[in-house]
Structure 1
Amino acid sequence: MPSKFVDRRVLVTGGAGFIGSHLCERLLEQGAEVLCLDNLFTGRKANIAHLLGNPAFEFLRHDVTIPINAEVDEVFNLACPASPVHYQFDPVQTTKTSVMGAINVLGLAKRLRIPVLQASTSEVYGDPQVHPQTEAYWGNVNPIGPRSCYDEGKRCAETLFFDYHRQHSLAIKVVRIFNTYGPRMHPNDGRVVSNFVVQALRNQPITIFGDGSQTRSFCYVDDLVEGLLGMMRTPAEITGPINLGNPSEFTVAQLANLVIEITNSKSTIDFRPLPQDDPRQRKPDISLAKHHLGWGPTINLRQGLKRTVSYFERLLSLGRSENGIAERDIPAKYPARLVS
């Protein structure tokens, strides 16, 4: 069966980011023309440098909070800083990116009458009181806390998507992404995997916030991208939201010890106070993804960590951060935290 994306012109907002750049690659492999839109706040041109010579790939530096004028066949909306280090640096802009960005991509999709996919997040569940988290769960979110700009911004974006669907019969897809990791993660973005790997490779103490008993479920980026593509392939009546993540659950302490083992590191564990509103547990119920997409993760944590460690080893051997990013580019006032 031919790919759904052959001869399709696809807009990927946030396309120069960690997940977005991998999605652009897979779309090109499946025969699509790709318009990659990114303002390069957290995305980096180095993530897509190897794609720039491809005649089917185009990069547009643009902020999604500004209306978009493009002629495309479908849209993947991934634009938004996704780690506390980045989204708390300018929380007002983070909310604008989620809300105004959603309005702008929905407006584009409405004008062109094309399908649009929203990359939402497990953060919409907040610090969940239901475990594992199903799409029917409404969440336990603090609307005025330091994480609210991201959590509530994404929740509002979902609201907008479903209102456009009901009011304008727009073809929408909404996925909720759980912790994802892999090559091209920013080494200083505060996400738990990149933080642990970089600290272990440098033989520095591994920073765990809380006692390490809080749980996360880690999905390798290649698996996640296949889920995004699969969701866009579903019939129009499948709108979501649908969870995308790996239901294998690990404590943060287990992750730290596995990273130390894989890197053969001399790192010790440094326990620090848990940040406000940090979720105690995260595990997706992916029953809907299995049923509607035929999707499930194929890469286990050990396999994915080995690939991720190899990536960071190459970066550190060059004596620089990922994509040449200097320490001064990362806001120092925010500690590393755990985030989807």
Structure 2
Amino acid sequence: MKILVTGGAGFIGSHLCDALIERDNDLTVVDNLVLGRKENISHLLGRSGFEFIEENLLHEEGMRTLFKEGHFDMVYHLAANSDIQKGGKDPWVDYDLTFNTTFHILQLMKEFEVKKFFFASTSAIYGETYDVLNEDYGPLRPVSNYGAGKLASEAFISAFSSTYGFQTWITRFPNVVGERFTHGVIHDFIHKLQKNPKELEVLGNGEQCKPYVYVKDLVEGILYVVEHASADYNVYMLGSDTRTKVKEIAAMVIEEMGLDATIRYTGGDRGWVGDVPEFRYNLDRVNTLGWKAAYTSNEAVRLAIQKALGK
């Protein structure tokens, strides 16, 4: 297939590119390199069937030319603001980078008659709840601008899919960890300990408890859903049915770095405004389809720490 990957130089997007190339697809990657890094895809540059274009998805002229010349069979849309704290400080960040990028891609797909679409969504659309989350859970009340941008994106994707005949796959992720990440709890803990090996500051009380999934595990889940779910509109949760507490991550990072640091908690039940302190997934739908994460949440976290430390 001729595939466009938006955000393909980013953390998850670059791993997806690796997997799609291995499946003998022709890829065009577009990324503005605000969060993405060219080194994430440097091993693919110059390879037959791979093209990288540095472009802003909101740049109408450049993107129309890209679609006109690309003759794409499918779009994998991963471009978004992935830094929830940054979006919380400035709502325009998620309006432009999380929602508006999606709307522009949908408009271009409509204009150039691209009929297959994948969207990377998130658990953040659900907001703060202690219920077990599944694909049909509601009402959805996001507490972060990032979650709101993703939920608004899903609403327009649903409308465009129905109105213009797109076949759509949406997968909702929990916390994703692994090589090439640029932020997140593991990234922050390692950098804090590199600055001060004797003490690790942990935002909140450390009891925040969420599922974590290893990035390559996640990519296999994405492609499994796209290859095996055949409805016109497909929505699946991806991740692990196990969870990890922040205090467990802190202990693992200290252990893997070989340190004897003390942990200092800042207090409160969350790390920042917009943080959801606890959630869990019901993965029955994707498990029934035939996919299950290879790693538990704790295994994913430890593997990601080891990879980040070059082990």
TM-score of the superposition, structure 1-length normalised?
0.81
Q: Tell me the residue number matched to 2:274.
A: 277
Shift in Å, 1:90: 4.4
Q: Tell me the residue number matched to 1:18.
A: 11
- 1:33-71 Cα offsets, whole Å, 9 max, x none, are 111110011001111111112122111111222343322
2:14 and 2:245 mapped to 1: Cα distance? Answer: 29
Of 220-229 and 89-98, more deviation after overlay is shown by 89-98
1:306 and 1:254 mapped to 2: Cα distance? Answer: 10
- 1:145-183 Cα offsets, whole Å, 9 max, x none, are xx32x1111000000010012222211111111111000
Q: Tell me the residue number matched to 2:243.
A: 249
Counterpart AA for 2:256: I
Counterpart AA for 1:41: V
Q: Tell me the residue number matched to 2:218.
A: 224
1:116 and 1:262 mapped to 2: Cα distance? Answer: 40
2:297 and 2:189 mapped to 1: Cα distance? Answer: 14
Counterpart AA for 2:123: S
The root-mean-square deviation of aligned C-alpha atoms, in Å, is: 2.2
Is residue 167 of structure 1 aligned with residue 163 of structure 2?
yes
Shift in Å, 1:241: 2.2
1:139 and 1:269 mapped to 2: Cα distance? Answer: 37
Q: Tell me the residue number matched to 1:109.
A: 109
The alignment partner of 1:41 has SS state of coil
2:227 and 2:237 mapped to 1: Cα distance? Answer: 16
Q: Tell me the residue number matched to 2:123.
A: 122
Of 97-106 and 174-183, more deviation after overlay is shown by 97-106
Shift in Å, 1:259: 2.4
Q: Percent identity?
A: 27
* Contact 1:243-1:284 within 8 A present in 2 as well: yes
**What 5-or-longer segments of structure 1 have no aligned partner?**
1-7, 316-340
C-alpha distance 207-246 of structure 1, shift in aligned 2 (>3 A):
farther
Counterpart AA for 2:166: L
C-alpha distance 121-115 of structure 1, shift in aligned 2 (>3 A):
same
Q: Tell me the residue number matched to 1:331.
A: none
2:301 and 2:194 mapped to 1: Cα distance? Answer: 13
Q: Tell me the residue number matched to 1:321.
A: none
Shift in Å, 1:278: 1.9
The alignment partner of 1:50 has SS state of coil
Is residue 304 of structure 1 aligned with residue 300 of structure 2?
yes
Is residue 96 of structure 1 aligned with residue 96 of structure 2?
yes
Shift in Å, 1:89: 5.8
The alignment partner of 1:172 has SS state of strand
Shift in Å, 1:140: 5.4
Aligned residue pair count: 299
* Contact 2:7-2:31 within 8 A present in 1 as well: yes
Is residue 36 of structure 1 aligned with residue 29 of structure 2?
yes
The alignment partner of 1:154 has SS state of helix
C-alpha distance 87-52 of structure 1, shift in aligned 2 (>3 A):
farther
TM-score of the superposition, structure 2-length normalised?
0.88
C-alpha distance 296-11 of structure 1, shift in aligned 2 (>3 A):
same
1:127 and 1:49 mapped to 2: Cα distance? Answer: 39
C-alpha distance 171-113 of structure 1, shift in aligned 2 (>3 A):
same
1:297 and 1:56 mapped to 2: Cα distance? Answer: 29
2:142 and 2:49 mapped to 1: Cα distance? Answer: 43
Shift in Å, 1:265: 2.1
1:194 and 1:238 mapped to 2: Cα distance? Answer: 38
Counterpart AA for 1:308: A
* Contact 1:183-1:307 within 8 A present in 2 as well: no
Q: Tell me the residue number matched to 1:46.
A: 39
Higher strand share: 2
* Contact 2:135-2:236 within 8 A present in 1 as well: yes
1:87 and 1:116 mapped to 2: Cα distance? Answer: 25
- 1:320-340 Cα offsets, whole Å, 9 max, x none, are xxxxxxxxxxxxxxxxxxxxx
User: In the TM superposition, what are the counterparts of 1:133-144 in structure 2 within 5 Å?
Assistant: 133-138=133-138, 141=141
* Contact 2:6-2:79 within 8 A present in 1 as well: yes
**What 5-or-longer segments of structure 2 have no aligned partner?**
none
The alignment partner of 2:42 has SS state of helix
The alignment partner of 1:184 has SS state of coil
